Amino acid sequence: MDDVETRELRYFVAVAEELHFGRAAARLGIAQPPLSRAIHRLERRLGVRLLDRDRRGAVLTAAGEVLLREARAALDAVAAAVRRTRRAGNPDRPLVLVTKAGASHELLRRLLDAQAGEPGAAPVEVLLCEVGEQAHRLRDGQADVALMHRPYDDLAGFDTVDLHVESQVAIVPAAHPLAAHDRLTLAEVSHVPDLPIARWPRLDGTYPEGPGPEVRTQSQLAQLVALGKTLLVIPASSRAWQWPEHVAVPVVDAPEVTTVLAWPPGGYSPALASLVRSAAGLRDTPRPLPAEDPRPGSPGAPAVSR
Amino acid sequence: MDDVETRELRYFVAVAEELHFGRAAARLGIAQPPLSRAIHRLERRLGVRLLDRDRRGAVLTAAGEVLLREARAALDAVAAAVRRTRRAGNPDRPLVLVTKAGASHELLRRLLDAQAGEPGAAPVEVLLCEVGEQAHRLRDGQADVALMHRPYDDLAGFDTVDLHVESQVAIVPAAHPLAAHDRLTLAEVSHVPDLPIARWPRLDGTYPEGPGPEVRTQSQLAQLVALGKTLLVIPASSRAWQWPEHVAVPVVDAPEVTTVLAWPPGGYSPALASLVRSAAGLRDTPRPLPAEDPRPGSPGAPAVSR
DNA sequence: TACGCTGATACCCGGCGGGTATCACGGCTT
DNA sequence: AAGCCGTGATACCCGCCGGGTATCAGCGTA
């Protein structure tokens, strides 16, 4: 009586996102009448009205809002089941590690080196994604493990190993008066009138209100800093930002950022276990001496070049 | 091409649990041939062999193990979507709070009192469950919010508010020499030869190996302590254990237990928000003076009666 | 060797998902 | 004011697929 099929959830999500039966049907590749029927049947089964049909489209009811959120999560879980099962059936599957582009690449390289040194190490494939997308990739099974940053990323629902703790720096335009400081506080960088904080899109693609410029990628943001339009506060090791027009100034009271290795709980493949072991070994030497690691800007060495 | 329906996942879970097509079909209320067909189709779609068919049943492949775990999670998510949507459509729905029977009942009463005092408070329905079941009830939508205990319960994937921190006591038979101590250490209670720790069933109903008695409910455990067969270490406020044949002795080096209110992230109904507010108010007075709270054994007052 | 138990196969039927054609209704335009 | 357009709803048909029964095929065992 109350077994809902994933097809019905996919249909509902399409309608809830488009708020228009015709467009949703086109997106799904079916005609509009069967879609209307399916949504009606879903409403009848749940005993709940999900959409208020209007002459120019439809709007979600409160219950519809709930189902939209829950259905997305459920569909993610189903997609994850499929992806993970497929990979589990593939004997020489690589481990997929997802991380933000441009962040922690030194640490990532050390992790990959350490893992490659392990005997019988599984190959690791690196998948780069947009800011904040790692959790989603992990949840829907596109990746096995992620590099994430506390407190920035939402770590709820994942097992984690802390890899590295570091302080944060403000990246400001070299020509700006703030660049002359050798240390700053959060208060000093929070509301600089001519350097408003950039705004990132929400999950639905819209932007929050505010004075700052709208950005969608990290390189846009880097460019905006170089142009003197904005500033940002990031972990000290994110050296990708270090353009000639940038200056990094330590922010003394910004919360420390912890780089963590995160993975969905319960899924202990041998390959993942091996990577976690490598990561734990890395953690034991969080601050390598320069002699041990001659690369400049190595994570753990919070030296900020100005 | 790769859209898997929940029906197929339910079918697979049944087969994977029974390891026998005939019994699984009977449990599902269908005949065996369609079930075989469905599993074959699922294997073909995933491109992965899930079961090794044997003459006397079937055994899971590695990929099958993965899918069993993932499919259970996915089906939980779908069930949660249905349940939460149904409740969201019901205007005067009560908030369902799930907790372990016998634990934290004083704190729970204070929470319910505080919530009832709120203007326009939503009714709260209390659901009692077995040890360790709260997370599952929360995940599959049978409950909106849970009282759980760190570090005992798995809080991964939930938002939480800490309510109360307390130390732990050992509950030992009154006739046992350990009862004469006025304080104990973990080392002293860990491997007492004549009081082996009881064993709880795993999720699949089997018991881990060990010398301790097998228990399934808390009252069985209480009875076994009274009979001098075992001991246990629990938070000081779990007064349900306090039988005449029991003696509670503080365990000085046991980790502190934090009672937390936990709920699935993202689901902010007004009723839930109101309860979380009540809980946060409670947290601000974690150790009420006796004058403020004349009830004996109130949580926060770690007085241990012997 | 025959029986029994397992899952696989063959075949049929009915329901349901999907398609096209059309309706009902309200807002907009002229 | 009247017609048109765009919305979702309804009516009806068809083909596929899920489910049923009957039966087969392999292997262990009595």
More confident residue, B224 or B55: B224
More confident residue, B57 or B280: B280
State the SS3 of A220-285.
Answer: HHHHHHHCCCCCEEEECCCHHHCCCCEEEEEECCCCCEEEEEEECCCCCCHHHHHHHHHHHHHHCC
Q: Is the pLDDT confidence value at B289 over 50?
A: no
Q: Where residue B205 falls among pLDDT bands split at 50, 70, 90? A: low
* Contact status, residue B174 vs residue B246, Cβ threshold 8 Å: yes
Quick check: A186 contacting B, CB < 8 Å? no
User: Is the Cα torsion angle B99, B104, B109, B111 positive or negative in sign?
Assistant: negative
Q: Where residue B212 falls among pLDDT bands split at 50, 70, 90? A: confident
Chain B residues 21 to 50 whose Cβ lies within 7 Å of strand D are: 29-31, 33-34, 37-38, 41
More confident residue, A263 or A266: A263
Out of A63, A74, A81, whose CB is closest to B88?
A63
Q: How far is the CA of A42 from the C1' of D9 (A)?
A: 16
| Partner-chain contact B46 A6, CB within 8 Å | no
**Long-range contact set of residues B50-59: C-beta below 8 Å, sequence gap at least 24:** B50/A85, B50/B12, B50/B16, B51/B15, B51/B16, B57/B19, B57/B20, B58/B15, B58/B19, B58/B20, B58/B21, B59/B19
Average pLDDT over residues A272-279: 85
* Contact status, residue A168 vs residue A231, Cβ threshold 8 Å: no
pLDDT tens readout for residues A119-129: 767 788 888 88
pLDDT tens readout for residues B174-184: 888 898 898 89
* Contact status, residue A227 vs residue A173, Cβ threshold 8 Å: yes
Average pLDDT over residues A97-116: 80
Phi, psi angles (nearest 5°) of residue B160: -140, 155
pLDDT above 90 coverage of chain B, percent: 7
Average pLDDT, chain B: 80
What is the least distance, in Å, from the CA of B49 to any CA of chain A? 7
Q: Is the pLDDT confidence value at B93 over 80?
A: no
> CATH 1.10.10.10 occupies which residues in chain B?
6-84
Please tell me what DSSP assigns to residue B90.
Answer: S
Type of residue at B267: G
Please tell me what DSSP assigns to residue B175.
Answer: T
Report domain B168-251's class. alpha beta
Q: Which two tokens stand for residue A123?
A: 């190959």
For B160, nearest residue in chain A (alpha carbons): A156
Identify the bridge partners of residue B250 per DSSP, sorted by sequence position.
B169
For B66, nearest residue in chain A (alpha carbons): A85
More confident residue, B250 or B105: B250
- In angstroms, the CA B55 to CA A18 distance is 51
Q: Is the pLDDT confidence value at B299 over 80?
A: no
Average pLDDT over residues B68-73: 90
Q: How far is the CA of A33 from the C1' of C23 (A)?
A: 13
Q: Which two tokens stand for residue B103?
A: 């634990």
Fold of B6-84: Arc Repressor Mutant, subunit A (1.10.10)
Q: Note the pLDDT of residue A203.
A: 64
Please tell me what DSSP assigns to residue B205.
Answer: S
Q: Where residue B264 falls among pLDDT bands split at 50, 70, 90? A: confident
pLDDT tens readout for residues B126-147: 888 877 788 888 888 888 899 9
Q: Where residue A1 falls among pLDDT bands split at 50, 70, 90? A: low
Report the b/e string of B73-104 with b at 16+ CB within 10 A: bbbbbbbbbbbbbbbbbeeebebbbbbbebbb
Question: Could you count the other beta carbons within 10 Å of the beta carbon of residue B192?
Answer: 16
| Partner-chain contact A267 B69, CB within 8 Å | yes
- In angstroms, the CA B21 to CA B33 distance is 9
Chain B residues 101 to 130 whose Cβ lies within 7 Å of strand C are: none
Protein-proximal nucleotides of chain D (any atom < 7 Å from a CB): 6-12, 18-23, 26-28
Q: Note the pLDDT of residue A239.
A: 60
The lowest-confidence range among A45-49, A282-286, B164-168, B238-242 is: A282-286
Average pLDDT over residues B113-118: 82
Q: Note the pLDDT of residue A286.
A: 46
> CATH 3.40.190.10 occupies which residues in chain B?
94-163+259-283, 168-251
Q: Is the pLDDT confidence value at B296 over 70?
A: no
CA B25 to mean position of chain CA atoms: 30
Report domain A93-163+259-283's class. alpha beta
Q: Where residue A74 falls among pLDDT bands split at 50, 70, 90? A: very high
Mean pLDDT: which of A101-115, A187-201, A262-276, B288-302 is highest?
Answer: A187-201
Identify the bridge partners of residue B184 per DSSP, sorted by sequence position.
B251
Q: Note the pLDDT of residue A112.
A: 86
Chain B residues 42 to 71 whose Cβ lies within 7 Å of strand C are: 53, 55-58
Return the CATH architecture of domain B94-163+259-283: 3-Layer(aba) Sandwich (3.40)
- One of 3.90.870.10, 3.40.50.720, 1.10.1370.40, 3.40.190.10 is the CATH number of A168-250, namely 3.40.190.10
pLDDT tens readout for residues A168-226: 889 888 888 898 898 898 888 888 888 888 888 776 667 888 888 888 777 778 888 88
> CATH 3.40.190.10 occupies which residues in chain A?
93-163+259-283, 168-250
